[in-house]
Amino acid sequence: RENLFAAFRGSARSGGTGLGLAIAHELIRAHGGAVELVESIGGRTVFAVTIPDQPVRLDQARGSLRRPA
C-alpha cells in the first residue's frame, strides 16, 4: 500500500505505465485535496477523492508538487 501512488508501480496485468494514480494523486494534493484507497475486492478498487471548496494560490500549489528524483 505504501507504493500505491508511486510512479511506475502498475501491475503487469493492467498493461498501463503505472503513472495514472501517481499523476492524479499529485494534482489533487497540489489543490489541497487527498486521494485514499477505500477498498480493493475482487479486482475492483475504490478510491475516495476529497477536494477543498476553497481555491489554492498558485504559489502554494507549485510548492506542494514533488520533483522527480
pLDDT digits (tens, 9 = 90+) for 13-42: 666 677 888 899 988 988 889 999 888 788
Look at residue 10 and tell me whether its pLDDT is greater than 80: no
Give the pLDDT confidence score for residue 8 in this predicted structure: 75
CATH of the domain at 30: 3.30.565.10
Between 67 and 6, residue with greater pLDDT: 6
DSSP-assigned letters across all residues of 9-50: ---TTT-S-S-HHHHHHHHHHHTT-EEEEEEEETTEEEEEEE
Count of the separate structural domains present in the chain: 1
| Domain span at 52 | 1-69
Instruction: Return d(Cα 4, Cα 25) in angstroms, integer.
Output: 10
What is the pTM for the complete model shown? 0.61
Tell me which range, 11-15, 41-45, 58-62, is most confidently predicted by mean pLDDT.
Answer: 41-45
